[in-house]
Every structure is written in C-alpha cells, then in structure tokens.
Amino acid sequence: MRKVDPAKHEEKRREILEAAGRCFARSGFHGATTSAICAEAKISPGHLFHYFDSKEAMIAAITQARLDDAMVRTERVMESADPFGTFVNGIKDALLTKGRMNNPLLLDMLAEARHNPTMAEIVQESTRQGQAVVAAFLRKGQEEGRVDTNLDPELAAAIVISVIDGSQSIAVRDPKLDKEESGKLLLKMLLRLFAPPAAADGA
Amino acid sequence: MRKVDPAKHEEKRREILEAAGRCFARSGFHGATTSAICAEAKISPGHLFHYFDSKEAMIAAITQARLDDAMVRTERVMESADPFGTFVNGIKDALLTKGRMNNPLLLDMLAEARHNPTMAEIVQESTRQGQAVVAAFLRKGQEEGRVDTNLDPELAAAIVISVIDGSQSIAVRDPKLDKEESGKLLLKMLLRLFAPPAAADGA
DNA sequence: CAATTAATAGACTAATTGGTCTATTAATGT
DNA sequence: ACATTAATAGACCAATTAGTCTATTAATTG
C-alpha cells in the first residue's frame, strides 16, 4: 500500500495558501478567482480542490493562519526578559506596518467578517485570545508601575487592537503619508493613554 | 414634448442608492447581487440600469455619498459657537458608533479601495478634504491653548481619522464589548494626545 | 387630445466562476 | 515487480450574475 507523509501534504497546503494570499491581497477575497489562484500556485483546478474543499474554506484557512501567526508572535514576546518593554516594541512594529507583523489582508478580513458568520467566528475567537494576551502585558505593566492602574486591562487591550486596525486605514486613505511619522505618533498616543497619572511622559 | 423634473430623477437615484446601501451593508459590495438590490428597491433590472450604468457605478456613488455626507456634517461643526468643543463632541459621536455619523460600510469601503483604483481615488480625495477640516479644528484648538502646539495638525488629523476607522473594527472583533465604554476610552486617548504639556486632564 | 419621451417591467443572454469528473503520472510498501 | 493510492492535470459543467432588449405604461406639454 501507500501511506504518504502528511507533512508534505501540509506543506503543499501552505504553499497554495500563500499563493492564494497574494491573489487575495491583490484583488480581495471576492475579486480573486480560483483560476487566478491556480495560476499563481501553478496548479490545476482539480489539484486545488484536492487540497481545499472550497474557496470559502481557503478564505477561512488563510484568515485563521494570519491571525494565528500574529498571536504566536505576540505570545512569544511574553517570554522575553522585559515583557512590557518588548510588548511596546511589538506595538511599534505593528504600527509601522513593515515588520513581518504586517497583514495586508486585515481590512478585508474585518469587512468579510461583517458579512460572513464563519469568518466572524474566526475573527472573534482570535480576538478573544489576542485581547487576553495584550491584557496580560498591560497587567504586567501595571504591576511594574508603568501602566495606569485605573485602566481596565481588557478594555485597554481592545483599544490597542483597534488602534492597530485603524493604522491599516492610513495607508489606504493617504498613501503619501510617512508611515514612520504616523506610527510614532500612534505609539505615543497609546503610551500616553497607558501612562500612570504621575508620569507625564513628555517626549 | 416632455422635459421632466431632474429633481425627481435625483430623488429616485437616492432612493435606489439607499436600498443598495442596505444590501451592501448586509452582504458586502460583492456579496450583494444586482437582483437583490432590485428586490430591495422594488424595481426591475431594466429600471435599475436606467439609473446606474453599472454595479461599479453604484458602489462608487454610494461611497462618494457616504463620505460627502460625513464631510458636510463635519464642516457644519465649524460654524458653531465653540468649534473645537463641538468638534470633540463630533468625534465622540463618531466613536460611539450610533449617532447618524455612523457608516457601517466604512470597512468595506476601505478594503475595496485597496483593490479598486476608482474607489481608491474617491477615498483618498475625500480623506484630503476631511483631513484638512479636522486639521483646521486642531489649529483652532491650538490657538485657544487647548491643543498641544507641538502637534502637527495635519498628522494629528490623520490619526483622528485612523482612530475612528479603527473604532469600527471593535464591533466586528468583539460585538459584546460595550460601545459606550470603548468609545469613551478612545476619546480620552485622543484628548490626552491633544492635551498641551501643562494640563494633564486627569479625569 | 395627441405627440413625445421618460419611467418601468421583465424575459432573456453572454460571460464568468466555483467546482466536478475522468484520466494520467508518480510514489510507496510488500 | 506490482499493487495501491496519492498527486496532478485539464476538459468540462451547472449555476449565477451583471447587464441588455423590447415592450408597456405614465407623465408632460403644446
């Protein structure tokens, strides 16, 4: 008989998903056709649907993958020597929209989640997890006296995520705006929100 | 002969556009079919395409209309007795996502603009105008000593818009989160960013 | 009222698109 | 070597969808 390496199967799936990701980024979830994805991945339709049940499933898979990816990277920060400090750096990275933290599909994913219950579930579940992790960082910061203890960590975490989401809109609305500058100001804004009443954090 | 009221024509267009808006809000720009729009507007396809050249044109028109609408409302604030104060109230309204300032298509519009040059142009042009108006409010605030003069009004305006955009994501990511609460915190965050070095704005 | 043209309907279509079916090739284990 | 099954191709299809065409009804004006 034959019993083939499931790792190879997974690898191919990832490969196809990456090609799909490029197509989706270019044309949106609905604008990208399966045949465009086939072309990008250099496979036939039969082959494509051998790996994914439907285009819907591809959209769900890539969304899940991207969100998971962001989660993993965020969680890894927790293991560093200075969690809160590294966390702030992570936000910076996310806001500058350049580090591999960046996900050009974010707006599409959010919009899609407004119309598609499956996607909504994926996004919401991922948000629950992400929010919890961010809240943990904020609590850590509160313990260290670097974050205002009046802030509700869960709520503040939601705000952090919302600001990162919002930062994606800047590139769309004003492509000429310097991302470095806007990112820095967004970060400053968050840090001021975090700052305990005493410390003014002028710079 | 016959020479019919162009106002009536415009009115019907608006009517159809409103129906389309409901469909788009429900299913997204691509998920909503023209026949769904026909059903919602209670007209026939022939009739629909008598008023709009294409679905694309409908998407562009509704986007333009929504953005113009937001602009008009924002501009009107400038005419009030206390522009900056009223402006802050306007932001509050936008963040609470309830006042008629709210536009459930915002995320869809931004996502679409990433893939569709026509939409990109509309969004970017509208942003230019909106940003200018917001920057004017901030300058007013600076003159009145209510806004940090170190802030670049144009850049800060971009941040304000980005935060409002980002606030839309909250409802998607965490529908259970209290909008009142998150809106209040977002507003506080912006006000702290605006605050001149001296005033701490503790509340 | 008659003529004219706008408003409206709705059957129809051309093209696209997600997805299937069959066939072929290439691994793998015995 | 051979049997078995996975990997892959690509022709094909059913359904959907944006958009058209023709016909009818309703205003408007002279």
Tell whether B129 is within 8 A of chain A (Cβ): no
Nucleotide nearest to B34 (CA to C1'): D18
Under an 8 A CB cutoff, do B158 and A174 touch? Answer: yes
Q: Is B115 within 8 Å of A31 when comparing Cβ atoms? A: yes
* Euclidean distance between CA atoms B172 and B180, whole angstroms: 15
Distance CA B81, CA B91 (A): 17
Helix axes B6-31, A6-31, angle to 10 degrees: 180
- Spell out the per-residue pLDDT of chain B, length 203, in tens: 677 777 889 999 999 999 999 999 999 999 999 999 999 999 999 999 999 999 999 999 999 999 999 999 998 887 899 999 999 999 998 998 776 678 999 999 999 999 999 999 999 999 999 999 999 999 999 999 999 999 999 999 999 999 999 999 999 999 999 999 999 999 999 999 999 997 555 44
Provide the CATH topology of domain B55-194: Tetracycline Repressor; domain 2 (1.10.357)
CA–CA distance, A74 with A133 (Å, rounded to integer): 8
Residue with CA nearest to C9's C1' atom: B44
At residue B133, the pLDDT reads: 96
Residue B36 confidence (pLDDT): 98
- Cβ contact, residue pair B124, A174, below 8 Å: yes
| CATH 1.10.357.10 placement within chain B | 55-194
All CATH 1.10.10.60 domain ranges in chain B, comma separated: 1-52
- In the structure, what pLDDT confidence band is assigned to residue A2 with cuts at 50, 70 and 90? confident
Q: Which distant-in-sequence residues (6+ apart) come within 8 Å of B147 by Cβ?
A: B84, B138, B141, B194, B195, B196
Residues 79-98 of A with CB under 8 A from B: none
B11 touches strand D (CB under 7 A): no
| CB contact B128 to A (< 8 Å) | yes
B3 Cβ nearer than 7 Å to chain D strand: yes
The answer to whether residue A162 neighbours chain B at the CB level (below 8 Å) is yes
Whole-angstrom distance between the N-terminal and C-terminal Cα of chain A?
Answer: 68
Tell me if residue B30 falls in helix, strand or coil: helix
Chain B residues touching residue A167 (CB < 8 angstroms):
162, 166
Distance, CA of A74 to CA of A130 (rounded, Å): 8
Identify the architecture of domain B1-52 in CATH: Orthogonal Bundle (1.10)
Tokens of B114: 């990433």
A1 touches strand C (CB under 7 A): yes
Q: State which nucleotides on strand D lie below 7 Å from a protein beta carbon.
A: 3-12, 16-23, 27-30
Q: Which nucleotides of C are covered by protein (CB under 7 A)?
A: 3-12, 16-23, 27-30
Name the residue among B30, B124, B172 with its Cβ closest to that of A110. Answer: B172
pLDDT of residue A199: 53
8 A C-beta contact, residue B182 and residue A193? no
Please give the mean pLDDT across all residues of chain A.
Answer: 94
**In chain B, what residues touch A114 (CB-CB under 8 Å)?**
28, 104, 107-108, 172
Whether A7 CB is under 7 Å from strand C: no
Angle subtended at Cα A154 by Cα A70 and Cα A89, rounded to the nearest 5 degrees = 45
pLDDT digits (tens, 9 = 90+) for A175-198: 999 999 999 999 999 999 999 997
How many of the other CB atoms lie within 10 Å of CB of B183?
20
Domain with residues A56-194, CATH architecture: Orthogonal Bundle (1.10)
- The answer to whether the Cβ–Cβ distance between B177 and A155 falls below 8 Å is yes
A42 touches strand D (CB under 7 A): yes
Among B111, B155, B185, whose Cβ lies nearest the Cβ of A159?
Answer: B185
